[in-house]
Structures are given as C-alpha cells and as structure tokens.
Structure 1
Amino acid sequence: MKQFIDFIPLLLFFAVYKLEPRIVEIAGHKFALGGIFSATAVLILSSLLVYGALLVKQRRLDKSQLITLAACLVFGGLTLAFHSETVLKWKAPVVNALFALAFAGSQLFGDKPLVQRLMGHVVELSAAQWARLNAAWVAFFLVCGGANLFVAFTFPAIWVDFKVFGSLGLTLLFMIGQSFYLVRHMQTTPAPSKE
C-alpha cells in the first residue's frame, strides 16, 4: 500500500497538468492553473501534505519516502525557480538511480540485502533467493529510471502521460511478478487451537 501512496501527488500533478491553462481566484488571490508549472507547484504541495500526514500518523517516514519527498522538493523547486521543465524530467531517473544504488549497495556492503530487511519478517528465503530478489529490485529501478529518461527526452509530448501511467504500470507489473515469486515462501501463522 505504501508504494501506491507515493502516486497520489503524481496523479494530482497529472490532473493539473492536463487542465486547459486558466486563471482561478481563491480567497481574493489569482493563480494560474494548468500546464507544467502549476502542476509542479501542486506536486510539491500535495507531497508535503501526503508525507506530512504520514509523518504524523507513523511518527516517521521511511527512507524511500524521505528520498522521494526530498527529490520532489529539490527538482520541483528548481523547476519553478528556473522556469524549466527539463529539471523536473530528471527527478524520476535520479530517484530511481538512488534506489537502485541503495539496493545494490546493501547487497555488496551490508550484512543482508535491503529487500530482506524490508520483507524478511514476512518471507523466508535462502541467501541466494534474497540476492536474486534484491537484484530484481535493482533491475526494476534501473529500467524505470531509464524508461523515464528515454521518454522524457525522446518523446517530450507524452512524457507526463508516461510518467504517470507508464511508471504505475511498470510498478504494478513488477509487484505482480514479485508476488508470484514470493507467494510460495510466505510465512503463515497457525490458527489458534480451540482447547
């Protein structure tokens, strides 16, 4: 579920981006709405609200959520400051590369792979299986980042559509594939006896 919470700001970004540009008045203030720059402002604000609410509820944010929020603030802020959508196009590739690096680094330098730290309480796997699953996560993040980079700079007219639906589709496909692999290894808790 947590992975899909990250898509809320992205979906709001998409909705505002697709609006026909217009000026709206809220509480006596006029705002431009529609297009990349107002969508970026909505992305920043909605990310602050979503992750702020998660922080209040969970009393902390996961490292992945912190990275996503920081990247949104940095790349979104620079996009607005320089009035250049090119900066925002680098957000997804950079974030995915950081996640790939974290998973790969945990494999090389940690006592156990990052995926095992995240899912070890639910799934029992051998060291080789954890290594394969961790490598699959590295590959997933590299493919997602590379696909976003390729589409953003080769097909800029459909970049936002791909960022939302392509990223979501790739994530869903990966989760389904991972589920088939993991379902054989899920730990089950025995039913309480009726004695």
Structure 2
Amino acid sequence: MKFLFDLLPVILFFAVYKLAGANEDAAFQLAALWLGDGIGARQAPILLATAIAILATFGQIAWVWTRHRKVDTMLWVSLAIIVVFGGATLLFHNPTFIKWKPTALYWLFGGVLAVSALAFRRNIIRRMLEAQIRLPDAVWERLNLAWASFFLVMGALNLYVAYSFSEEAWVNFKLFGGMGLMFAFVLAQGFFLSRYLEEDPQQ
C-alpha cells in the first residue's frame, strides 16, 4: 500500500492526462477556466495532469502529517521539486518544465548519494538499511554507488525519452518505464545481495 501511496501523484498524472486526451473539448474548457487564456487545446491534457499531480503531492503531505505528525524529508523534497517545475509549466503553459521534473529528482538523489560518499565518507544507503541487513564494507560501497549510478542514468534516460519521442510516449514512460526499471533494478540488487545475507540461526 505504501508503494502505491508513494506513486499516487504519478498515477493521477497519467490518469488525468489520458482522460483529458480522450475528452479534448472538455479538457480545454477546464484548463482555460483554471489557468486562464492563452492555452491551446493540445496543451490542456499535460497542464491539467500537472495541476493534479501538484495537488496530489500536497494531499500526500497533509495525509502523512495528519496521521503521524511527521513528514519524511524525501516527501518534502518531492513537493518542492514538483511545485517549482510543475508551477513553471502552469505559469508559462510550457510542458518542458514538468518533463525535467523527474530528471531533477533523480539527479538530486544520485548527486546526494555520490557526494555524501565521496566528499564526506557517509554512505546513505548503509545508514538506511544496515538495521535490516549486515554486509561487508566493500559491498555497502558498491551498493551506494549502484544506486547513485542508477539515479543518474534514469535522469538522463528521462530526458532522452522526453526529447526523442512524443509527449504521450513520455507520459507512458514516466509511469510504466520508470516503475518497471526501478522494479528490475531492485530485483537485480536482491539477487546480488542474497549471497551476502546471513542465514537466520534459529532456522
């Protein structure tokens, strides 16, 4: 359930984009009502989807705060990035900004992992996971590097799809491509780590 909750803005972005694309006249009228004049009919789906994604992220923050009185730093970062890039898309009626949003988030995460390890000798992946698993120091370093590299590659891949394919193809990739590659990476990581995991002595 938490996985789906984390993906809620992306799922709603995809759903609203598809729904608006299938109802162009209604989407155009709604976008013009919300965002004012100067909007083309072909822009309406991406603008409406962006607005809903921003609202959904605010909704996530409100829900988590109401239940736990604490919000993870990662969720605050996601909110800040989508407000900046999504807000620019809505303000200038230009989808380029929202297309850069996943890349900004991926590169931020990858950069933090890399800089923390190289400049400050702090392995963030280890700090997050060492309570659950025990690994040799060299493996922790490789794991941190793997995640940093994955995020950097995903950021570049997002831009490649955004600038090489249609807007609809990018929207599809944003949900299915990103989620599929993340799942494949985590699965491969699980196989890699399995050789280092200690067996439960009670078994």
TM-score, with length taken from structure 2: 0.82
CA distance in 2, matches of 1:56, 1:185: 40
Q: Call closer, same or farther: CA 1:2–1:125 in 2, change over 3 Å.
A: farther
RMSD: 2.4
Matched, 1:171 2:182: yes
Matched, 1:110 2:120: yes
> Structure 1: where are the runs of 5+ without partners?
25-29
Q: Call closer, same or farther: CA 1:163–1:113 in 2, change over 3 Å.
A: same
Q: Deviations over 1:16-65 (max 9, x none)?
A: 001123438xxxxx669x61111111101111112321233333222222
State the Cα distance separating 1:94 from its structure 2 match.
Answer: 1.0
* More strand by percentage: 1
Residue of structure 2 in register with 1:159 after alignment: 170
Q: Deviations over 1:104-127 (max 9, x none)?
A: 012113343110011111011111
Secondary structure at 2:71 match in 1: coil
State the Cα distance separating 1:164 from its structure 2 match.
Answer: 1.1
State the Cα distance separating 1:101 from its structure 2 match.
Answer: 0.5
CA distance in 2, matches of 1:63, 1:182: 27
CA distance in 2, matches of 1:172, 1:45: 26
Q: Call closer, same or farther: CA 1:89–1:114 in 2, change over 3 Å.
A: same
> Structure 2: where are the runs of 5+ without partners?
28-32, 36-43
State the Cα distance separating 1:66 from its structure 2 match.
Answer: 1.8
CA distance in 2, matches of 1:51, 1:22: 32
Q: Call closer, same or farther: CA 1:185–1:62 in 2, change over 3 Å.
A: farther
Matched, 1:49 2:52: no
TM-score, with length taken from structure 1: 0.85
Secondary structure at 1:47 match in 2: helix
Q: Call closer, same or farther: CA 1:146–1:181 in 2, change over 3 Å.
A: same
Secondary structure at 1:90 match in 2: helix
CA distance in 1, matches of 2:34, 2:90: 14
Residue of structure 2 in register with 1:76 after alignment: 86
State the Cα distance separating 1:179 from its structure 2 match.
Answer: 1.8
Q: What are the equivalent positions in structure 2 for 1:94-109 lying under 5 Å apart?
A: 94-109=104-119
* More helix by percentage: 2
Q: Deviations over 1:124-173 (max 9, x none)?
A: 11111000000110111011111101000111331111111111111111
CA distance in 2, matches of 1:187, 1:73: 43
Residue of structure 2 in register with 1:17 after alignment: 17
Residue of structure 1 in register with 2:155 after alignment: 145
User: How many equivalent residue pairs?
Assistant: 186
Q: Contact 1:90 / 1:149 at 8 angstroms: preserved in 2?
A: yes
Q: Call closer, same or farther: CA 1:120–1:141 in 2, change over 3 Å.
A: same
Residue of structure 2 in register with 1:126 after alignment: 136
